[in-house]
Structure 1
Amino acid sequence: MPTYLTSQDIAAALELRDLTDPDHGPHAMQLLLDTVVDALTEQWGIPARWLRTSPLVPVGDNYDRLGFDSDAITRDARYSRYVSPTVMLRSHTSASIPWLLRTFDPSAQVDELHVLPGLVYRRDSIDRTHVGEPHQVDLWRVSSMTSMSVEDLDGMLAVVVDAVLPGAQWRAVPADHPYTEAGRQLDVLVEGQWLELAECGLIAPALLTSCGLDPRVWSGLALGMGLDRALMLRKGIDDIRLLRAYDPRIKAQMNDLDRWRPVSTLPSISRDISIVIDADDDDETLGDRIRTAILHRIDDIESVTVRARSSYDDLPESARARLGLTRHQVNALVRIVIRPLVHTLTDAEANELRDRMYLAVHQGPHRELIADGR
Structure 2
Amino acid sequence: MQTLLASVVDALESAWGASVRHVRHSPIVPVRENYDRLGYHHDDVTRARRYTRYVSPTVMLRSHTSAELPAALEEYAGRREVDELIVAPGLVYRRDAVDRSHVGEPHQVDLWRIRSTPATSDEDMLSMISRVVETVLPGAAWRTTDVSHPYTVGGRQIDVLHEGAWLELAECGRIHPEVLRGSGLDPDRWSGLALGMGLERALMLRKGIPDIRYLRAEDPRIAAQMRTLEPWQHVSLLPATRRDISVVVGAEEDEETLGDRIRIALGDDADVVESIDVLGRTTHDELTGPARARLGTRDGQVNLLLRIVLRPIDRTLTSDQANAMRNVIYRAVHEGRVMELI
Cα contact 1:304–1:337 (8 A) shared by 2: yes
2:176 maps to 1:204: yes
Residue of 294, 306, 325 corresponding to 1:353 = 325
Question: Structure 1: how far apart are the matches of 2:13 and 2:196?
Answer: 16
Which residue number corresponds to residue 284 of structure 1? 256
Q: CA deviation at 1:305?
A: 1.1
Residue of 22, 25, 44 corresponding to 1:53 = 25
Which residue number corresponds to residue 127 of structure 1? 99
Q: CA deviation at 1:145?
A: 4.7
Match of 1:350, SS state, is: helix
Question: Structure 2: how far apart are the matches of 1:173 and 1:279?
Answer: 31
Mapping for residues 57-96 of structure 1, pairs under 5 Å = 57-96=29-68
- For normalisation by structure 1, the TM-score amounts to 0.90
Question: Structure 2: how far apart are the matches of 1:52 and 1:175?
Answer: 27
Mapping for residues 102-113 of structure 1, pairs under 5 Å = 102-113=74-85
Q: Deviations over 1:184-215 (max 9, x none)?
A: 11110111111111100111111111111111
Question: Structure 1: how far apart are the matches of 2:147 and 2:301?
Answer: 35
Q: CA deviation at 1:154?
A: 0.7
Gaps of 5+ in 1: 1-28
Match of 1:103, SS state, is: helix
Question: Structure 2: how far apart are the matches of 1:204 and 1:359?
Answer: 45
Match of 1:217, SS state, is: coil
2:218 maps to 1:253: no
Match of 2:56, SS state, is: coil
Q: Which amino acid aligns with 2:4?
A: L
Q: Which amino acid aligns with 2:277?
A: T
Mapping for residues 1-374 of structure 1, pairs under 5 Å = 29-145=1-117, 147-370=119-342
Question: Structure 2: how far apart are the matches of 1:191 and 1:103?
Answer: 43
Q: Which amino acid aligns with 1:342?
A: D
Question: Structure 1: how far apart are the matches of 2:128 and 2:288?
Answer: 58
CA RMSD of aligned residues (A): 0.9
- 99-108 or 359-368, which deviates more: 99-108
Q: Which amino acid aligns with 1:114?
A: I
- For normalisation by structure 2, the TM-score amounts to 0.98
Q: Which amino acid aligns with 2:212?
A: I
Q: CA deviation at 1:262?
A: 1.1
Where do 4+ consecutive residues of structure 1 move more than 4 Å? none
Q: Which amino acid aligns with 1:280?
A: E
Match of 1:37, SS state, is: helix
Q: CA deviation at 1:106?
A: 2.8
Question: Structure 2: how far apart are the matches of 1:106 and 1:148?
Answer: 19
Match of 1:69, SS state, is: coil
Match of 1:294, SS state, is: helix
Cα contact 2:23–2:68 (8 A) shared by 1: no
Q: Deviations over 1:133-172 (max 9, x none)?
A: 0110000010115721111111101100110000110111
Q: CA deviation at 1:327?
A: 0.9
Cα contact 1:276–1:325 (8 A) shared by 2: yes
Cα contact 2:140–2:160 (8 A) shared by 1: yes
Cα contact 1:126–1:302 (8 A) shared by 2: yes
Gaps of 5+ in 2: none
Cα contact 2:90–2:109 (8 A) shared by 1: yes
Question: Structure 2: how far apart are the matches of 1:176 and 1:106?
Answer: 30
Match of 2:76, SS state, is: coil
Q: Deviations over 1:111-139 (max 9, x none)?
A: 11000000000011100000000110000
Q: CA deviation at 1:107?
A: 3.8
Question: Structure 1: how far apart are the matches of 2:144 and 2:291?
Answer: 49
Cα contact 1:106–1:214 (8 A) shared by 2: no
Q: Deviations over 1:234-274 (max 9, x none)?
A: 00011000000000010000000000001111110000011
Q: Which amino acid aligns with 1:141?
A: R
Count, aligned residues: 342
Question: Structure 2: how far apart are the matches of 1:143 and 1:61?
Answer: 21
Match of 1:340, SS state, is: coil
